[in-house]
């Protein structure tokens, strides 16, 4: 492989943008890390579509499960091969959970093509490490790592707001605590400052993400005076320009009646009472308490109690969840009970994962491992059941009028745009296809729902 490019020192106040080819794999939390890095280098950054036009190739990897690790390795090798054919090779920097899981020393031996490794434990130093590797000298007033910097990759309609790092739970199947460490909630003042910066860029929807959003503040009781998630919601809800505020990934233990009442007071489905949407992403993972205990879940009781609590306070709430099928010891009777639970619960959205035995996790050493073909069969069967439920729920919206947040135009169909109604989270749920007057990225437009499919809607703006 040809040597890394000679560093170029940029000292002029009017610097040319740094061309960057960036790829962020895995979850929205990784996307936020990528956006923060690229917005905090202290120099202008321009993302490019072709590696050959870049000075920096940045890949933020996922290491949660083995298939994600394989995808990350393929992406790194593809980038290295492409960069190696260029006359002026860009710097190849690799970050993220794969680095945190396996460590720089081990990965450097296996992937010597990488110029710069960015470990998760050095997350706050990524801008400094990248600028040093590139030989960039930012202007004195814009040193690397400036707080609040974000180079958005989501367009004008929405942005993720990561409210914490790490996790306080120790689920038996999960690698995240070992990769990202214990819970570290971001202080409220820093989140409000970041949110204001995002809204100033025209963003209409903020989506709160963390390993467990409901845990926010639990590690900062003294520093923040006992603030909880409801207090953060109230502070964010008062910011100018915010249309929708959505919560993603709340462990069932944190979905308390007090939190639900705060949500009800701060919002509504159409934003009439405030921006907090009655949308909750609650990863139940299973319905059988015996298996939940084996998973080490913080809530190992009957999930129906949590659903009843949500619907008593927020009767029209949209609930998204995830389930794991084929966990060690799951019997046919357990799976049948899970299917009955899903059929009765009628979740608005459901994701199903076939269990993956990850090295180093307690679950990988459990007896009664379910064969992978059986796991995949169960996953397909549960998704088929949910497909019918989703189609029925969406069909009931046809003929109604709902506000749609427009995300982006559809390149192949002039005039047609991708958007979402309030119960559709970005990049996770379905799409509402819309067209008509006022339909432009970032706009919140009243539309008539005219057609539905299994997971998507079609709508027309009022003429």
Please compute the mean of the pLDDT values over residues 338-342 and round it to a whole number.
97
CA distance 249 to 66: 22
Q: Does 126 have pLDDT greater than 60?
A: yes
**24-77 per-position pLDDT tens digit:** 998 899 999 999 999 999 888 999 999 989 999 999 999 888 889 999 999 999
Q: Which two tokens stand for residue 105?
A: 């020393």
Q: Does 339 have pLDDT greater than 90?
A: yes
Q: Does 356 have pLDDT greater than 70?
A: yes
CA distance 268 to 247: 13
Handedness of CA 72, 73, 78, 84 (dihedral sign): positive
pLDDT at residue 440, as a whole number: 92
For 286-293, which contacts have Cβ atoms below 8 Å and span 24 or more sequence positions?
Answer: 286/323, 286/324, 286/327, 286/330, 286/334, 286/338, 287/337, 287/338, 287/341, 287/342, 288/330, 288/334, 288/337, 288/338, 290/329, 290/334, 291/327, 291/329, 291/330, 291/334
Write down all domains in the chain, each with its CATH number in brackets: 18-134 (3.40.50.12160), 158-394 (3.80.30.20), 401-461 (2.40.50.140)
Average pLDDT value over all residues in the chain: 89
Q: Does 6 have pLDDT greater than 50?
A: no
CA distance 71 to 243: 36
Reference 59, options 6, 117, 4; nearest CA is 117
pTM of the model: 0.89
Please compute the mean of the pLDDT values over residues 345-363 and round it to a whole number.
93
Helix (H, G, I), strand (E, B) or coil at 223: coil
Helix (H, G, I), strand (E, B) or coil at 317: coil
**371-397 per-position pLDDT tens digit:** 999 999 999 999 999 999 999 999 999
Strand partners of residue 418? 408, 433
pLDDT at residue 299, as a whole number: 78
φ and ψ at 421, to 5 degrees? -85, 175
**What's the pLDDT band for 367 if we cut at 50, 70, 90?**
very high
Q: Does 106 have pLDDT greater than 70?
A: yes
Strand partners of residue 245? 206, 276
pLDDT at residue 5, as a whole number: 42
pLDDT at residue 182, as a whole number: 84
Helix (H, G, I), strand (E, B) or coil at 446: strand
Q: Does 160 have pLDDT greater than 90?
A: yes
pLDDT at residue 141, as a whole number: 56
Percentage of residues in the chain having pLDDT higher than 90:
70
Please compute the mean of the pLDDT values over residues 367-373 and round it to a whole number.
95
pLDDT at residue 269, as a whole number: 67
**What's the pLDDT band for 411 if we cut at 50, 70, 90?**
confident
Please compute the mean of the pLDDT values over residues 228-248 and round it to a whole number.
94
Please compute the mean of the pLDDT values over residues 82-102 and round it to a whole number.
89
Q: Find the Cα–Cα–Cα–Cα dihedral 428, 429, 430, 434, rounded to 10°.
A: -80
Query: Where do we find the tokens 């069967």?
Result: 381
């Amino acid at each position: 492989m040809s040597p890394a490019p000679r560093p170029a020192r940029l000292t002029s106040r009017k610097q040319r943008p740094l061309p960057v080819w960036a790829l962020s794999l895995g979850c929205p939390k990784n996307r936020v890390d990528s956006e923060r890095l690229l917005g905090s280098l202290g120099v202008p950054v321009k993302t490019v579509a072709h590696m050959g036009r870049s000075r920096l190739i940045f890949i933020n990897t996922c290491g949660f499960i083995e298939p994600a690790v394989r995808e990350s390795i393929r992406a790194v090798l593809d980038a290295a091969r492409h960069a190696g054919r260029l006359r002026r090779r860009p710097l190849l920097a690799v970050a993220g959970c794969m680095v945190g899981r396996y460590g720089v020393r081990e990965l450097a031996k296996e992937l010597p093509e990488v110029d710069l490794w960015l470990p998760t434990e050095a997350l706050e130093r990524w801008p400094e490490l990248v600028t040093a590797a590139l030989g960039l000298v930012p202007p004195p007033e814009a040193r690397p790592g400036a707080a609040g910097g974000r180079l958005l990759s989501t367009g004008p309609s929405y942005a993720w707001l990561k409210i914490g790092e790490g996790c306080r739970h120790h689920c038996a199947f999960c690698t995240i605590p070992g990769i990202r460490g214990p819970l570290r909630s971001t202080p409220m003042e820093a989140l409000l400052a970041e949110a204001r910066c995002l809204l100033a860029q025209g963003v209409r929807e903020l989506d709160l993400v963390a390993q467990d959003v409901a845990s926010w503040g639990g590690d900062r009781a003294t520093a923040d005076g006992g603030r909880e998630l409801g207090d953060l919601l109230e502070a964010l809800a008062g910011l100018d320009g915010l249309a929708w505020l959505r919560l993603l990934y709340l462990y069932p233990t944190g979905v308390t009646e007090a939190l639900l009442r705060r949500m009800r007071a701060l919002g509504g489905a159409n934003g009439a009472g405030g921006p907090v949407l009655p949308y909750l992403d609650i990863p139940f993972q299973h319905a059988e308490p015996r298996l939940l205990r084996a998973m080490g879940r913080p809530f190992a009781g009957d999930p129906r109690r949590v659903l009843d609590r949500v619907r008593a306070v927020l009767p029209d709430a949209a609930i998204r969840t995830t389930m794991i099928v084929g966990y060690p010891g799951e019997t046919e009777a357990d799976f049948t009970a899970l299917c009955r639970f899903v059929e009765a619960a009628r979740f608005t959205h459901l994701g199903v994962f076939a269990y993956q035995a990850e090295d180093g996790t307690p679950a990988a050493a459990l007896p009664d491992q379910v064969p992978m073909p059986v796991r995949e069969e169960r996953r397909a069967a549960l998704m088929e059941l949910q497909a019918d439920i989703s189609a029925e729920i969406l069909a009931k919206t046809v003929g109604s009028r709902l506000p749609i947040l427009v995300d982006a135009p559809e390149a192949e169909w002039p005039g047609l745009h991708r958007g979402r109604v309030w119960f559709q989270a970005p990049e996770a749920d379905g799409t509402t296809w819309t067209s008509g007057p006022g339909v432009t990225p970032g706009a919140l437009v009243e539309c008539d729902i005219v057609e539905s499919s299994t997971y998507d809607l079609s709508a027309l703006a009022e003429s």
